[in-house]
Each structure stands twice: as C-alpha cells, then as structure tokens.
C-alpha cells in the first residue's frame, strides 16, 4: 500500500505543500481534462491547507524518505505509530488487511484537514 501511495504524484505534491500552513493548493487532473475535453471544461479544485497534523506529517516524511533515500531500507515506524493512534486495531503484530490500512490511513489524514 505504501509503495503504491509513494507513486501517486498528486498525493506527493499535496503532502509537500501541506508542510506550509495557509497555503492554497490548486489540484488539476490532466487525465480527466483530456477525457472530458470535448464534453465540458473541468475546473481545478482550490484547497486551503491548515497546519499539518501528526499523521499527515508522518506520511510526508515517509514518502520523502522513500523518494530520496539511497540507503535502501526505509522503515515506516513513525507513520505506523500515528496510524495506531487513530486506529488501535493495528497495535501489536496481528495480521491486518492492506485495504483496511489504506482506509484508516487516508481517513485519518482527511480527518486532520
């Protein structure tokens, strides 16, 4: 899940912008613009960002490490700790479904907006 999210350009850019509170981010989707080019004009979304919260900051830090590291191994300790604070079911070492992690991670970040 985290490898897939690390390859999501819109998420990476949004998290990069999220570090600076009060920033307004313009989100455009080139794929949708081309898909709907002939039927209607799609307006970009403008989102004003507040102070980033712990889960969002941990996600940004983790994705940055994944993109920039040369050491080979990246450990999501802080990100996992923040997810566990939002969803205690992930504490411990029980097996969990990856789609549940994705849901709790994205819902947790959205709740911090």
pLDDT in tens, the chain (113 residues): 888 998 888 888 878 777 666 666 666 665 554 555 555 556 776 766 666 788 988 998 999 888 886 767 888 899 999 988 888 888 877 777 888 889 988 888 888 76
Q: How many alpha carbons lie under 13 Å from residue 6 in its C-beta half-sphere?
A: 14
Q: Report how far residue 58's alpha carbon sits from residue 11's, in angstroms, rounded to the nearest whole number.
A: 13
Tokens for 30, please give them: 């080139």
Secondary-structure breakdown of the chain: helix, strand, coil percentages, each rounded to the nearest 5: 55, 5, 35
Instruction: Let me know how long the chain is.
Output: 113
Q: Report how far residue 32's alpha carbon sits from residue 12's, in angstroms, rounded to the nearest whole number.
A: 19
pTM of the model as a whole: 0.69
Residue 67 has a pLDDT of 84
């Amino acid at each position: 899940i985290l490898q897939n999210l690390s390859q999501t350009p819109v998420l990476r850019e949004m998290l990069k912008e999220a570090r600076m509170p009060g920033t307004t981010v313009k989100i455009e989707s080139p794929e949708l613009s081309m898909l709907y080019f002939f039927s209607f004009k799609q307006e970009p979304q403008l989102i004003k960002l507040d102070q980033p919260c712990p889960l969002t900051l941990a996600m940004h830090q983790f994705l940055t490490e994944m993109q920039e590291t040369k050491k080979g191994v990246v450990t999501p300790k802080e990100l996992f700790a923040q997810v566990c604070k939002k969803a205690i079911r992930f504490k411990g070492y029980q097996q969990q479904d990856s789609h549940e992690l994705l849901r709790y991670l994205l819902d947790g970040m959205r709740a911090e907006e």
